[in-house]
Amino acid sequence: MTRRPEFELIATLFAPLARSCPGALSLMDDAALVSPSPGHELVVTTDTLIAGVHFLDDDPPGQVAQKALRVNLSDLAAKGARPIGVLQALTLGDKTDDTFLESYARGFADDLRHFNIPLLGGDTTSAPPGGPLVITITALGELPHGTALLRGGAQPGDLLCVSGTIGDAALGLRALRDQLPPASETHRTELVRRYRVPEPRLALGQALRGIATACLDISDGLCADVGHICTVSRVSAEIVWRTIPISQAAQRRLSDDPSERSLILGGGDDYELAFTVPPAYRTRLSELAEQTATPIAVIGRVTGRDGKCDVRVMGDDGREIVVPAGGYVHH
Q: Which stretch binds its own copies (CB under 8 A): 13-21, 74-82, 236-244, 300-308?
A: 74-82
* HSE-CB for 44 with a 13 A CA cutoff: 6
- The yes or no reply on residue 33 touching its own copies (CB under 8 A) is yes
Which one, of 205, 69, 208, 204, lies nearest residue 139 by Cα? 69
- The yes or no reply on residue 127 touching its own copies (CB under 8 A) is yes
Which listed residue (3, 4, 11, 44) binds its own copies by CB under 8 A?
Answer: 44
- The yes or no reply on residue 217 touching its own copies (CB under 8 A) is yes
Beta carbons of 68 and 137 less than 8 angstroms apart: yes
Q: Indicate left, alpha or beta for 7 from its phi (over 0: left) and psi (-120 to 50: alpha).
A: alpha
Which listed residue (83, 107, 118, 122) binds its own copies by CB under 8 A?
Answer: 122
- The yes or no reply on residue 210 touching its own copies (CB under 8 A) is no
- The yes or no reply on residue 136 touching its own copies (CB under 8 A) is yes
- The yes or no reply on residue 52 touching its own copies (CB under 8 A) is yes
**Burial status of residue 223 (CB atoms within 10 A of its CB: 0-12, 13-18, 19 or more):** buried
- The yes or no reply on residue 31 touching its own copies (CB under 8 A) is yes
Interatomic CA distance for residues 289 and 285, integer angstroms: 6
Interatomic CA distance for residues 36 and 328, integer angstroms: 35
Q: How far is CA 84 from CA 40, 44, 63, 140, 204, in A?
A: 12, 10, 21, 6, 17
In the complex, the smallest distance separating the C-beta of residue 316 from its own copies, rounded to whole angstroms, is: 33
Contacts (CB under 8 A) with its own copies, residues 172-201: none
- The yes or no reply on residue 280 touching its own copies (CB under 8 A) is no
- The yes or no reply on residue 321 touching its own copies (CB under 8 A) is no
Interatomic CA distance for residues 260 and 324, integer angstroms: 11
Q: Indicate left, alpha or beta for 290 from its phi (over 0: left) and psi (-120 to 50: alpha).
A: alpha
Q: Which stretch binds its own copies (CB under 8 A): 24-32, 176-184, 297-305, 312-320?
A: 24-32
Closer to its own copies at the Cβ: 104 or 249?
104
Chain residues binding its own copies by CB under 8 A are 25, 28-36, 41-48, 50-54, 75-76, 78-79, 81, 87-89, 91, 120-123, 125-128, 130-132, 134, 136, 138, 140-141, 145, 148, 150-151, 216-217, 228, 232
